[in-house]
Structure 1
Amino acid sequence: MDARSVKLNVVFSTDCIKYPLTGIGRYAFELARELQQREDKIALTWLHGTKVRDSLAVASESAQSVQSLKRKLQNSRTVSEIYRLTFPLLKTWSLRAYSDHIFHSPNYYLPPGVKHCVATFHDLSVFHWPQFHPAGRVHLMQKELRKTVSRAAMLITDSHYTKRELIEFFDLPEERIAVAPLACNALFHPRIEAEAQAVLDVYQLKWRHFFLYTGTIEPRKNILTLLQAYDRLPAAIKKNYPLVISGYKGWDNTELFRLFDKGEREGWLKYLGFVAGKDLPILYSAATSFVFPSIYEGFGLPVLEAMASGTPVICSNATSLPEVVGDAALMHAPQDVETLTAYLQSMTDDAVRKQAMISSGLAQAQQFSWSLCADKTIEAYEQVAKFI
C-alpha cells in the first residue's frame, strides 16, 4: 500500500476522553480534534468502550459519579484482573470488521488479535516508580503494557525522554517509536487583569498575587516538597502570595490533605479541587508564578500551559520537564527545598527576572502545537500503512 496516495482508515480509541479530563484525556481529545481536520489524509472512526461510533465522544461532567465508581472498582486487585481478561476481548470483537484499518489507542492499552495497531506510551513510571501508583493499577498496567509493546506495529511517545526509556527498557529499535510532542489549546494565552477579574472574584484571589500548582494530588507530583519550600518563606510573602492548589484528588494523599487543611486555617493555602476547564486558563494567566516540582513526567503539559499563558514557571529538572521548558523556567532538583524556596521568593521581588521568564516562556511555548502533534502521529500511521 502506498501511504502517500491513499487516504488512511483509522479507528481511534476514545476511552480516556472522560470526566475529569486530565492529562491523557486532554491529549486524546485535542489530538482527535486536530486529526478531524485532516480529512485529506485520514478517515476516522471512533471506538468508545466496545462500541464503534461515527462521532467523537465528548467528556461530560455529569459522568463524574460513574467514573468515581469505576476508579474504586479498578483499585481492587480482583476486579482489575477480571477487567484485564474480559474487556480487551470485547474490544477485539468490536473491531473484527475493521481489519484493514489502523487502530490507535492513545492510552497505552491494545486489545489482542487486532492488526495494524498504534499505541501512545506516555511514560514508564509504572515500571520505574511503581510506588507512585496504587497496587491494583501496577498489577494491571505492568502486564498489559508489556503486551502493548509486543502487539504494536508502532509506538508513539510524548517526549524524546520517554522514547529513550522505551528503547532502553524494552530493547526496541529506534525506528519503531515516533515522538509526537503535546501542546496546549488556544485558551491558554496571556490576559490582562480585567479579563481575569470575574474568575478571581469567584475564587477570592488577587491578580498576580498567588502561586499556582495544578495537577493530580498524588505522590509523584511531589507536592509535599512544595509545601515544605513554601513554609520557609517569610510570613509576609505567605500572607500576600497564597499557594493555590488545583487538582483532582488522586490517591495516597491523606497527609497532604491534612496539611492543606492546616494551610487553609492559617490563611496561606487555598485548595480549589478540580477546577472547571473554562476557569483554569484564567488562573494560569493570573498567577505570579506556576510551580510544578514533579518527580516524574512523561511530558508535563501544565508547565507548557503556564508558559503559553504568560506566567513564569518554576519546576523540577526531572525526566522530560527540561525538554518542555527549555531555558525558560527556573529548575531545581526535585527534593531541593532550599532552592525552590529561593525561586519562590524571587518571583515576588525580582520584576526583571520575571519579565524575562515571561518572554522566553511565550517563545518556548510556540514551539509546540496540536498541529505538529497530529503531523507526527500521521507519520506513525503512514509507517504502519506500508504493511497493510
Structure 2
Amino acid sequence: MLSTDPVKFPLTGIGRYTYELGKCLQRQGLESLRFLHGYRLSSELPQASDSHSMAGAPAWKQWAQRNRWAVAVFRQINPLLKARALKGLADHVFHGPNYYLPPFAGRSVVTIHDLSHYVWTQGHPRERVRYMQAEMELSLKRASAIITDTEYTRREVAQHIGWPLHRIHAVHLASGPEFAPRSHEALAPTLSSLRLEPGAYALFIGTIEPRKNLATLLEAYARLPQATRNRWPLVVAGYRGWQSDELHDRLQRAQAQGWLRYLGFVPNQTLPVLMAGARLFVYPSHYEGFGLPVLEAMASGVPVVCSNATTLPEVTGGAAAMHDPNDGDALLGWLQVGLEDEGWRSQARGMGLKQAQQFSWAKCARDTLAVYQTVAEA
C-alpha cells in the first residue's frame, strides 16, 4: 500500500515522486496494490489535472500550518483516522513516501528525502520544524525500513539517527520523458508566449526561499558584464516560499534593470519547454535531498552550473560545473564559462545527457519494490 497524500496538482517535488512511483508500481501488475489517499483506500491513483489551484494552499490552511494548536489537534486526529482505514491489512507492506507513517499492524517503509528540518532548520518556519521532527520520531519507531533518495542522505540518516545501514536503502529519483532536448522550432511557440527565445536565457527553477541560495545567484549575475546580462538574461521560475520578501524585492529591481525575468509558477506542460530552451541552468542550492531540477536540466541537454552541496555531486556525476554555495566569485566565473565557452558547453551537454540516462522512474519503482520484498520476507 502506498500513501498518495503528497499527490497534489500541479505536481512538484515529493508529489511528483509519489505519483511516478505509483504509476510504475501499477505497471508491475501487483494484484494487491492499493493507494491510501486521505482516509480512503483505492486501486487507482489520484488523477493529474492542472485544473487544481496553482496559487498554493488556501489562506486558512496556511494559517493552520503555522498555528501550534491547530497542528497539535491535527497530529492527534490524523493518525487515528488513517489507522482505522488500514485496519485488517497487516499482511500488506505500507509505504509512506513523505516522512510520515501512521500506526499500522503490518510492516512499514518510510521515505526520508532529507534531514533539512534537523540540519538546516533556518530554512523552515519554527512550527514546521517542530512538527516534522515529532512526526519523524514516530515514523522511525514504526518503520521496518527507510528509503532515501541518495546514498548521501542514506549515510546522513544513519549517522543522525543511529540506524544500521542495511535497514536504509538509497533509491534514486528520475526525470520524466518530457524532459528531453528539443529543436528551436519545437520550442518557439511556447517560448514566444513567454516573450523568450530558444537558447537566449539562463534559468533557475525552484521555490523562492533561503535554502535555494538565490541571493548568491542574483549577486553573481549582477556582476556579469552588462552586455552579457542583456544578451542572456536570467529567468527565475518558482513558487513564492518562506522568508522570501527580500528576495522578491531584489527580483523586482533586477527585472526593472532589464536583466531578469521572474515568471512565478510555471505549469507542468510549460516547464519542460522552458527547461529545454535554456542556454544554461543554474542551481546554487545550500542543501538538497536530491536536486531533481538539475537532473531534468541534464536530461534536456542543457549545461548545468550548480553548487557542490550535499547530494548534488552524486546526482550530477561529474557532468556539471560545481562551486561552493557560499563562493560567489566561483559562481560568477562559471556563469561566464557556461554562457560564453562553446567548447565547455558542448562537452557539458553530452556528459549531462549520458548521466541522466542512468536514472529512470521504472528503475526507481523496481528498486522500491525490492525494498518491499526485503521487508515482507524479514
TM-score of the alignment, normalized to the shorter chain, above 0.5: yes
Cross-structure match for 1:6: none
| Residue in 2 that maps onto 1:33 | 23
Give the aligned partner of residue 348 of structure 1: 339
Matches within 5 A, 1:212-231: 212-231=203-222
Task: Give the counterpart letter for 1:45 in structure 2.
Answer: R
Per the alignment, residue 277 of structure 1 pairs with: 268
Alignment map for 1:1-388 (pairs within 5 Å): 11-39=1-29, 41=30, 43-64=32-53, 67-69=57-59, 70-387=61-378
Distance 2:245 2:155 in 1: 34
Structure number with higher relative contact order (C-alpha < 8 Å, ≥ 6 residues apart): 1
Paired position in structure 2 for 1:3: none
CA contact 2:280–2:339 (8 Å) conserved in 1: no
Q: Distance in 2 between matches of 1:222 and 1:315?
A: 11
Matched residue SS, 1:67: coil
Matched-pair contact (CA < 8 Å) for 2:18–2:97: yes
Q: Could you say what secondary structure the match of 2:32 adopts?
A: strand
**How far has the Cα of 1:59 moved from its partner?**
4.2
Residue identity matched to 1:29: Y
Deviations 1:59-87 (A, max 9, x none): 44443268334233212222111111211
**TM-score, normalising length: structure 2:** 0.97
Asked if 2 retains the 8 angstrom alpha-carbon contact of 1:19 and 1:67, the reply is no
Distance in 1 between the 2:31 and 2:176 partners? Answer: 22
Aligned residue type for 1:200: L
Please give the secondary structure, in 2, of the residue aligned with 1:212.
strand
TM-score w.r.t. length of structure 1 = 0.94
2-structure distance, mates of 1:72, 1:187: 36
Deviations 1:138-165 (A, max 9, x none): 1100101111112100110100011001
Structure 1 residue 217 displacement after superposition = 1.0
Question: In the alignment, is the contact (CA less than 8 A) between 2:204 and 2:236 conserved in 1?
Answer: yes
Tell me the alpha carbon deviations over residues 27-84 of structure 1, each in whole angstroms, 9 at most, x when there is no partner.
1111111111101x56311110111112101244443268334233212222111111
- Contact 2:89-2:106 within 8 A present in 1 as well: no
Moved more, 56-65 or 83-92: 56-65
CA distance in structure 1 between the aligned counterparts of 2:104 and 2:181, rounded to whole angstroms: 47
SS class of match (1:55): coil
Asked if 1 retains the 8 angstrom alpha-carbon contact of 2:291 and 2:311, the reply is yes
Would you say the 8 A contact 2:65–2:71 is kept in 1? yes
Contact 1:116–1:152 at 8 Å: present in 2 too?
Answer: yes
What root-mean-square deviation, in Å, do the aligned CA atoms of Structure 1 and Structure 2 show? 1.3
Match of 1:7 in 2: none
What is the alpha-carbon distance in structure 2 between the residues aligned to residue 203 and residue 252 of structure 1? 27
Deviations 1:205-228 (A, max 9, x none): 111110101011111101001101
CA offset digits 1:325-362 (Å, max 9, x no partner):
01110000001111111111112221010000000000
Instruction: Answer whether contact 2:150 2:170 (CA < 8 A) is retained.
Output: yes
CA distance in 2, matches of 1:349, 1:330: 14
Change in CA separation of 1:304 and 1:115 when aligned onto 2, cut-off 3 Å: same
Residues 39 and 82 in structure 2, CA contact (< 8 A), matched pair in contact too: yes
Percent sequence identity over aligned pairs: 46
Gaps (5+ residues) in structure 2?
Answer: none
Q: Which amino acid aligns with 2:267?
A: A
- CA distance in structure 1 between the aligned counterparts of 2:97 and 2:58, rounded to whole angstroms: 21
Tell me which moved more, 354-363 or 95-104.
95-104
Aligned length: 376
SS in 1 for 2:27: coil
- Please tell me whether the aligned partners of residues 107 and 375 of structure 2 are also in contact (alpha carbons under 8 angstroms): yes
